[in-house]
Structure 1
Amino acid sequence: MSFKLLSTKEAIESRRSIRAFKPDTISDEIIMELLESARLAPSGCNSQPWRFKIVKDTEIKAKLQNIAFNQKFVSQAPVVLVVCADIQGYLDGRTSGIQDLGKVGVFNESICEILHKATKKKSQIAIETLRQSVAFNVAIAIEHIVLRALDFGLGTCWVRLMNEKEIRTLFGWNDNTYPVALIPIGYPKENPSSRKRKPIKDFILD
């Protein structure tokens, strides 16, 4: 497997949302490399709540296109990752993560107790409310994927315009699994220019 490693700066500067893909297949080895980059992402108390459904089947991709309000590039990509947050996995992961961080001395006993209480409180929150707070952890893993994809000459696109309930129905998932985004992946058939960005000064608060 040959590829060109980019610097972090190069990857950030060259990343584009790709919505036109070549039909070329992507090897399982490369897909696993992308998921490995996600596996190494940071998360709150090392909860690691991300879950991935790898979709290559043409019929399933067509259904995902429909669920994504007929965005045609979704079905045209050789691979679509359905990236989800595992709500219970997040809560369980926080508990074990707090214990691990306490053992290695990152947190003292009082901070561990505060975090344990916060996790217990979170577990009593309705899933619908908890989903959004879990999703930001998953977003970090997604960004790892889209940047790592550039090393293999691949293009990606974050797709949030979708019907989450229909995705759960399609795959038979319960409410504990929260679809965060669809990530179509493939070799780009377009080379879009960088979109206009605001200057840094606009983002700095007084």
Structure 2
Amino acid sequence: MSVSQPSQTLEQQLFFDVIRDRRSVRSYDPQVISREELTEILRQATLAPSAANLQPWRFLVIDSPELKQQLLPIAFNQQQVIEASAVIAVLGDLENIRMAGKIYGLAVDAGFMPADTAKSFVERYTDMYSSMPSEAIRQIVYTDSGLVSMQLMLVARAKGYDTVPIGGYDKQKFMKAFGISERYVPIMLIAIGKAAKPGHPTVRLPIDDVAFFNEMPDA
């Protein structure tokens, strides 16, 4: 006997519209997004999950025309770098464990956990990270920073803005040009603004080609 699917609520439909409407936009109108709006987008993005809630993401927001022009050749002359309202460099903090005390202290202040629990968490994760291979820390940072990057792009779309993630840029030159220390690892650049031209529609593989239940196919 078939089971009927529940109808979508308006809230669900709005969310699905945001997902469907998000496209990679490479041509932008010269419209400024206020720093207050950019800050709010980032604030909402940081509600993304992270390992042990250590939030290893950091953001360098580049909205100066002069600095965007400096970034242009580093990003292989992709015009969205200078056309977009801003370029957000998503960085991963390899020493994010330093923030554990503050993070769990805020959780105590918010009434989310007792002080002794927070203290034990800080001690546990500090010990864990001190003995963890650097490559394992790097992998955690990449994973968590990827989560916040996707959330940032969806928040931007929900607010009526467009984005494009940029992985094609000279990371070493970027780090040097903007004085970023080796404590941080560059994840991606995200151009954000108002589209001058809509992003191209794209296709996705059928779900049967990418999702499997309980076991992987032989080939």
Q: Give the TM-score, by structure 2 length.
A: 0.77
In structure 2, relative to structure 1, the CA distance for the partners of 1:190 and 1:130 (3 Å cut) is same
Mark the structure with the bigger radius of gyration: 2
| Shift, 1:112, TM fit | 9.2
Distance 2:176 2:124 in 1: 37
| Shift, 1:147, TM fit | 0.5
SS of 1:181's equivalent in the other structure is strand
Q: Percent identity over the alignment?
A: 29
Matched, 1:48 2:41: no
Q: Deviations over 1:100-120 (max 9, x none)?
A: 79x56xx9xx99987565422
Distance 1:97 1:36 in 2: 15
In structure 2, relative to structure 1, the CA distance for the partners of 1:17 and 1:41 (3 Å cut) is same
- The Cα RMSD (Å) is 3.0
Which of 154, 174, 183 in structure 2 is aligned with 1:147? 154
In structure 2, relative to structure 1, the CA distance for the partners of 1:133 and 1:25 (3 Å cut) is same
Which of 23, 34, 38 in structure 2 is aligned with 1:16? 23
Matched, 1:81 2:91: no
Q: Deviations over 1:62-112 (max 9, x none)?
A: 222211122121121121111111111x223457768979x56xx9xx999
Distance 1:97 1:35 in 2: 17
Greater shift after overlay, 35-44 or 91-100?
A: 91-100
Distance 1:33 1:62 in 2: 25
Segments of structure 1 that go 5 or more residues without pairing to the other structure are: none
Per the alignment, residue 131 of structure 2 pairs with: 121
Distance 2:20 2:97 in 1: 35
Which of 193, 198, 206 in structure 2 is aligned with 1:186? 193
Contact in 2 for aligned 1:21/1:186 (Cα 8 Å): yes
Contact in 2 for aligned 1:85/1:177 (Cα 8 Å): yes
SS of 2:90's equivalent in the other structure is strand
Per the alignment, residue 4 of structure 2 pairs with: none
In structure 2, relative to structure 1, the CA distance for the partners of 1:82 and 1:111 (3 Å cut) is closer
Contact in 2 for aligned 1:164/1:179 (Cα 8 Å): yes
| Shift, 1:10, TM fit | 1.3
Contact in 2 for aligned 1:38/1:144 (Cα 8 Å): yes
Distance 2:136 2:67 in 1: 29
Which of 185, 206, 210 in structure 2 is aligned with 1:199? 206
Q: How many residues align?
A: 196
Q: Deviations over 1:137-196 (max 9, x none)?
A: 011111111111112221101111112221211121210011111111110011234211
Q: Aligned AA for 1:23? A: P
Distance 1:51 1:114 in 2: 23
Q: Aligned AA for 2:146? A: A
Q: Aligned AA for 1:71? A: Q
Which of 62, 67, 71 in structure 1 is aligned with 2:74? 67
Distance 1:95 1:29 in 2: 28
Matched, 1:131 2:138: yes
Per the alignment, residue 92 of structure 1 pairs with: 98
